[in-house]
Structure 1
Amino acid sequence: MEAWLDANGLALPSRMDALEVAIAGALIVLALALGVFAQRSFGARASQFWKTHVAHHGEGLWERMPAILRHGVAALATSIVMSAYPWSAWGGLPIGLALGSAAALAAHQVLRGLGIPRWISWLVSSILFIALFSRAVGGLDAITATLDGVGVDVGRRRLSLLAITSALLVIVIIIAIVRLANRIVSHAIARTTTLDATQKLLGQKLATIAIVVAAFLFSIDLLGIDLTAFAVFSGAMGLAVGFGLQKTVGNLIAGIILLMDRSIKPGDVIVVGDSFGWVNKIGVRAVSVVTRDGKEHLIPNENLMTQEVENWSFTNRNVRVRIPVSVAYNCDLKVAQELMFAAAAESPRVLASPKPNVWLTGFGNDGVEHEILAWISDPESGVGNVRSDVLNRLWWKFKEAGVALPFAQRDIYVRSWPGEPLPVGRDRAPDEPTI
């Protein structure tokens, strides 16, 4: 054993090294105990706090908050232990194992909670473990030199495993930070009481764009990429936006304009062409309109800017429903009209103010035509069911009062039957057929 260690430039641990390992082990146990204590004492509170303030936009992270707190506190305490004393390689070995494991597990929980794919999360956690463990035992320079040695020179830059690994870490970390910042800012805007729903949605969209742009510029600077390298592609990108992405950019700008002028906002009941429903969401590309059948129509934002749109709840959510009704000519119109008014007033969705009304609209071929005018304040719940409820109530009221409904009637006058002479004073026309 000693010969093998001597051949590899290693030596058996001395008493001092063994003492360091024992002290380091005791401190590691204390750090892990602190992590468990933090989880049991503050894990539920941290989870509830995160669920209350951020979980509306990030449901996957608050469930992992106790585990994140345990591993994070353990990693922090272990890092303090490593930095507090110049440990030897033997003493740094258990510290590196504990620090790398705790930090890797905490990073895995955070990345999974933010929606990062599982394999990417484990890959980043493994890289973090190797880096922290190697640093603790003093072998990080050797690993970085080895990774940097495997690669090729491309112009003035070197493409190596170290550069690829660094770029992967930076990209994943930036994506995680963007998602976390977006959720926190979006939830903070949603909780603001001084803004209406449309202003909140616009603020969330603008904040998302600002966060993504800032993260892109920061990552470019962090990776050391020269922005002048993109100058060659600026003309091609301009052509792509002008031709291929014209509709996409137009819909994006139209969506921002819709949010700014507040002509259409979530919850409004609109009619666009053959689509009738309530606005569920105003996205970057399209507006989601949910119909009464449960179908979701995605209407491009540009169509809402260029086509005629009926907004039933733009300034007032009250909508008047017209219900046509006809009664027979021989019935009592006063009684029939009172029953129409009563049927509308008894319908649960019909408003008492403005109160319903009954109009006589005309004398038809078969009956006296009326129109029941009823107001509702929840058009997103549908209009046809209101008509159905009022007409059902009116049917039974007419039945009880004996009010007759009209039906088509035609009178046929027979001037003569076959074989009978024509009435006196009338001659058959030349082209009149003989019956």
Structure 2
Amino acid sequence: MNLELTPQLVSQTVKTVEQNIFTTDKIIQIILLIALALLTLVIHKKIKLKLTTLLNNVTSDKKSKIYQKSKLLIKSLILPLTYNLLLILYIFLALNFFWPYKIMTIISEILTAWLIIRLMSSLFKNTFIIRLVSAFILTIVTLNIMNIYDRTIKLLDNIDFTTGEIRISLLLLIQGLFVLSLFMWAASQTTSFVETKIKNNSSLTPSLKVLLNKVIRFTVFGFAIIISLSSIGIDLTAFTVLSGGIGVGIGFGLQKIVSNFISGIIILIDKSVKPGDVIEIDNTYGLISSLNSRFVSIVTLNGEEYLIPNEDLITKKVVNLSYSDKLIRLEIPVGISYNSDVEQAIALIEQVAKEHQRVTSHKEPSCLLTGFGASSVELKLKFWIVDPENGLDNIKSELFLKIWQAFQSHDIEIPYPQHDLHLQSLPTELKEFRAN
């Protein structure tokens, strides 16, 4: 390093500092900043006490989330908010009396940005929206402090492309993404709130709840997109011809999707199936867990989940075991030996069915003699259950086992298959062997 340049460099640095920092206006503003900070420390405690007392008078439940969050905001925001208000008051006076205020403005802008970000972080849980708004606010503040905000906006607006009557600039895209994100977030919060209210409304049927949720979600998000595009100055009528051409082009490819969507609406309106129903379609048996715009989710008893297109529920044969009533009748066949007491067997079978917890007592189970087979007397047990979603084969298996145990304890025989063989003639050797 050239030592001869060192004094010159130091002198230039000192001169720059004196010209830009240690000026009369800036020293006055720094002193005023310190004075306003001291004044804030004095008065913010009184303001904090007044607001806390007011909060206690308004809210009776001290353990509620609203009370706790309001108390936290008072504690964390009163000091910087008071300081910022004093700065704004000084700036207002400075504009009228021509006092220096540039540093005050910079500090006030930074404080305002911090207060908005801090308030959003306390009130909202969506980190994406908080980060998006924070980045947007900090960018504006930074550009404004550097005095290049207007030039940056003009530069972004000049980077554009035009198609027909539509002009899209980089500035418009940034504004559109920001506004769209905010409106989509607001739409999401609105639909979540409404869906919760609908879900907790016991007077609505499950299918009507699903239909209302879909209509509200579609409507709110549709309006959010339209309002977002309109708010940034996009003429929506310019998309009419374009959307018509695109609609014709993709219409054929979306036939199944549209068909399933319309079928889903029909299903919700006619209430042919609803969440909680037990249905059977194409040898798939299970419980409907949810109705979606394109498909119905069916969960089987072994945990498998099938996604059945809505169109299939309209066009194919569907067995709904709980359409109007979950009460269904099941039958199981039982065979006993011709040497057994039939009346005792019938009584035992009916008693086993009555003692099973899943067999409803609203309709008594009955056992009937249905015929005389080649090897056994044929009986049939008929019983009713009200919870088909818990399975059909499992209750049949349990009843078969209980009947088997009851027959063994009462010496009732379940015969093996028997066949009588009658021979019209025998060979001579076999007749001689039989005679000996």
Does TM, normalized by the shorter one, top 0.5?
yes
Q: Please tell me the TM-score bracket, short chain as reference.
A: 0.7 to 0.9
Aligned counterpart for 2:31 among listed residues 15, 18, 21: 18
Output one character per residue of 1:391-415: Cα deviation in whole Å (capped at 9) or x when no partner. 1111111011000002111223343
1:4 pairs, out of 16, 24, 29, with 16
CA distance in 1, matches of 2:401, 2:335: 14
Cα distance in 2 for residues equivalent to 1:14 and 1:128: 29
Aligned residue identity for 2:116: A
Inter-partner Cα distance in structure 2 for 1:149 and 1:298? 51
Scaled by the length of structure 2, the TM-score of the pair is 0.79
Instruction: Name the residue aligned to 1:154.
Output: 161
Superposed, which structure 2 residues align to 1:106-117 within 5 Å? 106-107=119-120, 113-114=125-126, 116=128
- Deviation of 1:349 after TM superposition, in Å, equals 0.6
* TM-score, normalised with respect to structure 1: 0.79
- 1:187-206, Cα deviation, whole Å (9 max, x unpaired): 12222233222222211111
Do the aligned residues in 2 keep the contact of 1:148 with 1:161 (CA within 8 Å)? no
Tell me the residue number matched to 2:304.
295
Where structure 2 has 5 or more consecutive residues not aligned to the other structure, the ranges are 1-12, 93-100
Structure 2 Cα separation of the partners of residues 233 and 109 of structure 1:
43
Query: How many correspondences in the alignment?
Result: 400
2:116 to 93, 103, 111: 103
Aligned mate of 2:254, from 224, 245, 248? 245
User: In the alignment, is residue 388 of structure 1 matched against residue 397 of structure 2?
Assistant: yes
Instruction: For residue 86 of structure 1, give the secondary structure of its aligned residue in structure 2.
Output: helix
The equivalent position to 1:403 in structure 2, one of 377, 389, 412, is 412
Partner-residue secondary structure (3-state), 1:203: helix
Pick from 202, 220, 227 the counterpart of residue 218 of structure 1: 227
Distance 1:299 1:25 in 2: 70
**Counterpart in the other structure of 1:46:** 65
In structure 2, relative to structure 1, the CA distance for the partners of 1:16 and 1:78 (3 Å cut) is: closer
Contact 2:368/2:380, CA 8 A, preserved across alignment:
yes
- Preserved contact between residue 341 and residue 357 of structure 1 (Cα < 8 Å): yes
Q: Secondary structure at the match of 1:371?
A: strand
Distance 1:91 1:294 in 2: 66
Match of 2:372 among 347, 355, 363: 363
Deviation at 1:130, TM superposition (A): 3.2
Counterpart residue number, 1:145: 151
Alignment partners' CA distance in 1, 2:127 and 2:292: 20
Instruction: Output one character per residue of 1:16-39: Cα deviation in whole Å (capped at 9) or x when no partner.
Output: 5522454257649949x96x9799
Q: What's the Cα RMSD here?
A: 3.7
Which amino acid counterpart does residue 233 of structure 1 have in structure 2?
L
Deviations 1:225-253 (A, max 9, x none): 11133133223332245211111111111
Q: 1:312 maps to which residue?
A: 321
State the alpha-carbon separation in 2 of the partners of residues 407 and 370 from structure 1. 16
Q: Which amino acid aligns with 1:416?
A: L
Shift of 1:10: 9.0
Please give the residue correspondences for 1:130-141 in structure 2 after superposition, counting only pairs within 5 Å. Answer: 130-132=139-141
Q: Is the 8 A contact 1:148 1:163 kept in 2?
A: no
* Structure 1: segments with no counterpart, 5+ residues: 50-63, 423-435
Q: CA deviation at 1:287?
A: 0.7
Quote the sequence identity (%). 28
Distance change in 2, residues 1:65/1:272 (3 Å): farther
In the alignment, is the contact (CA less than 8 A) between 2:328 and 2:386 conserved in 1? Answer: yes
Going from structure 1 to structure 2, the CA distance change for 1:311 and 1:170 (only over 3 Å counts) comes to same
Determine the structure 1 residue equivalent to 2:6. none
Q: Which residue of 2 aligns with 1:416?
A: 426
